[in-house]
Amino acid sequence: MSSDPEKMMSKADKMTKLTLTRWSADWRGATELYEQAANGFRAANKYEKAKVALEKASQGQVMQSSPWDAAKHMESAAALAQKLSIWDEVADFYKKASELYVECGRAQPASDALGKAARALEDVKPEVAIQLYTDACEILEEDGRDQMAFDLYRACASVYIKLEKFADAATFFLRLGVAADKCDATNSQCKAYLSAIIVYLYGHDLKQAEKCYNDCSQIDAFLKSDQNRTASRLLTAYNEGDIEEIKKVACSSTVSNLDHVIIKLARKLPTGDVTAVQMNAGDDLDEDDLT
């Protein structure tokens, strides 16, 4: 075995090409050579070449019908692409790895791969990240492991909040609530609903927040919880335009136990919406109105 990765690469390439002398590709040998070449390149900090070697190694594994190893190689390739900041490839490699994991029948690593991809792309390509998060959540839900999806939902919602798409963020929190409901995780469920209400309020959408609150009150678990009380206090404070009360509720311990992104929103709540007080002046019923 030559220690020069380049030589190994060329040798492995030759092994896989079909020529007159070679009628069937020797994938086993080739894969081994590719793996060794990749290690060599990595040690030499030649990440681009290492990435290519890993890609080819992964393909070799696929040919050998071992999707698990193939997926592992793909993930390493994607990590290298992340280091090189080639974002399209990052997404592609992770997606391929995830598909291979699904082939193995292992949903958790599949969604983990997509989660890693989404986290890598959060800052650079948030829409792609959101898509990846959604796919990861779906994979887990299909497999019936909703509990693992909580973190992914939360991460996705925080990406939406960063993009200032509050309605979508709130929708994700509600989906979190549904997932939590399936696994009887009442605490997470109530926290998710409270977070959704806060997000709506931050988005200046009092009507939606109230509708959301009414919907959530139908659920027993939420009705009996601390979060319910906090939500009702917040909404009544909003209805009365009482800024002091809003601030007090935002600093209460129930809100401080939520996700830190939501805590930041809650602290900013009254100042994020100056029209709250004025909006409610019109809600007062006319005293002479006898209906």
Partner 1 sequence: MTVIDILTRVDSICKKYDKYDVDKQREANISGDDAFARLYSAFETQIETALEKAEIVTKEKNRASAVAMNAEIRRTKARLSEEVPKLQRLAVKRVKGLTTEEITARNDLVLALPARIEAIPDGTAGGPKGSNAWAPSTTSRPDIKFDSGDYGRFDDDYFQESNESSQFRQEFEMRKIKQASLDMISEGLDALKNMASDMNEELDRQVPLMDEIDSKVDRATSDLKNTNVRLKDTVNQLRSSRNFCIDIVLLCIVLGIAAYLYK
What's the rounded Cα separation, in Å, for the pair 162 and 188? 22
Q: Of 36 and 188, which CB lies nearer to partner 1 in the complex structure?
A: 188
Residue 96 burial (C-beta neighbours within 10 Å; 0-12, 13-18, 19+): buried
Structure token digits, residue 61: 């594994």
User: How far, in Å, CA of 259 to CA of 275, rounded?
Assistant: 26
Q: Which is nearer to partner 1, 113 or 190 (CB)?
A: 190
- Report in angstroms how near the CB of residue 184 gets to partner 1 at its nearest: 8
Neighbours of 35 (CB within 10 A): 22
Q: What angle do CA 211, 214, 217 make, to 5 degrees?
A: 150
Count Cβ atoms below 10 Å from residue 180 Cβ, excluding itself. Answer: 24
Report, in Å, the least distance between residue 186 CB and partner 1.
8
Residue 264: count of CB within 10 angstroms of its CB: 11
Euclidean distance between the first and the last CA atom of the chain, given in angstroms as a whole number: 93
| CB-based burial, 57-87: b 16+ in 10 Å, e otherwise | bbbbbbeeeebebbbbbbbbbbbbbbeeebb
Closest contact distance (angstroms) between CB of 185 and partner 1 is: 5
- Among 185, 183, 194, which residue's Cα sits nearest to residue 249? 194
* Closest distance to partner 1 from the beta carbon of 257 (Å): 4
- Cβ proximity to partner 1: between 185 and 250 the closer is 185
Least CB distance to partner 1 at residue 229 (A): 12
CB of 243 vs partner 1, minimal distance in Å: 22
Binding site for partner 1 (CB under 8 A): 145, 147-148, 183-185, 187-188, 226, 253-254, 257
Cα–Cα distances in angstroms (integers) from residue 241 to residues 129, 201, 237, 268, in the given order? 38, 13, 6, 15
Cβ closest to partner 1, residue 30 vs residue 194 = 194
Q: Which is nearer to partner 1, 64 or 147 (CB)?
A: 147
Distance of CA 119 to the CA centre of its chain: 7
Q: How far is the CB of 255 from partner 1 (least distance, A)?
A: 11
Select 253 or 291, whichever has its Cβ closest to partner 1.
253
The residue (of 91 and 261) whose beta carbon lies closer to partner 1 is: 261
Choice between 9 and 194, CB closer to partner 1: 194
What is each CA distance from 205 to 88, 170, 222, in whole angstroms?
A: 36, 11, 21
Nearest distance from residue 221's CB to partner 1, in Å? 12
